Structure 1
């Protein structure tokens, strides 16, 4: 029996298209495993996952890393927050007086004195801002995943996009791994590396 390929994917990533192409081309089964941003590398490092679709930045030590795509970042706030008045985008300057209920990975912090929030998931952060407390900045895919009627999201125009990438251990660079890399990079069944 051929061992399945086990691929983790971070919240907001959408591996469905790649999984479909894999199943059309390969005999190995593909097991997709959802992970959070906080634990997105754990399975690759401990061997329970062969590869993972992650949101950068990550510690790349001992890992191959292939960039897949970028996604814009958005601010999420309650539906009656001043952010809701913006047509499509806001800037960081518009957010300087806000409370961030979850630290931003870039290290950006508003000028306003920040409360000491407990660690929380993206979903918990969006639930918190829905209650009218602060704002959270997340990738657009995460905001869509946790979309609610009582929140709005607006693109933050002057924040760099986040990057989704595929990672795997350097020592696991075999034909099956390279076949999955090829699928994610858009190679056809007849294309060689």
Structure 2
């Protein structure tokens, strides 16, 4: 009887590691949007149409989770092709020289069951600065259609674009840029 109790205890102890898994970002259900003020007259919005990355999600202890994403600057879309071209030019992102933006987490603070603060390194225009995202946990569980583990989050932060060397027309065009992200991911196979 003791032998079975020890085996059951050992199995339970190792079962905790099953909560951590690699998840792949679903680019069809993930959006990165930004907004800024233009000369005090309008609040322009845009998005990046491509995002890739993965993260280690520990459902038993979200503080042990990690995420890494990359965004091609050429995927910028404001709905105005001339503005998209200008934003990709050397005046702003200089996409030819700095083709990607990235974020790599360093720590996750669990503020509540539905809110996380994810801190890490944000790289834009070849400049890396610390950034913290306020993250709302939308859901973690089995995907109803795919029948595999899935997770969804909304995140936001505000950055100063001049901190990243993308400061053309400041202060007429706002230095502060609000970033909003909605992300869906599924367990990687």
What's the TM-score, normalizing by structure 2?
0.32
Larger Rg: 2
Report the structure, 1 or 2, having the larger helix content: 1
What's the TM-score, normalizing by structure 1?
0.31
Greater RCO, 1 or 2 (C-alpha within 8 Å, sep 6+): 1
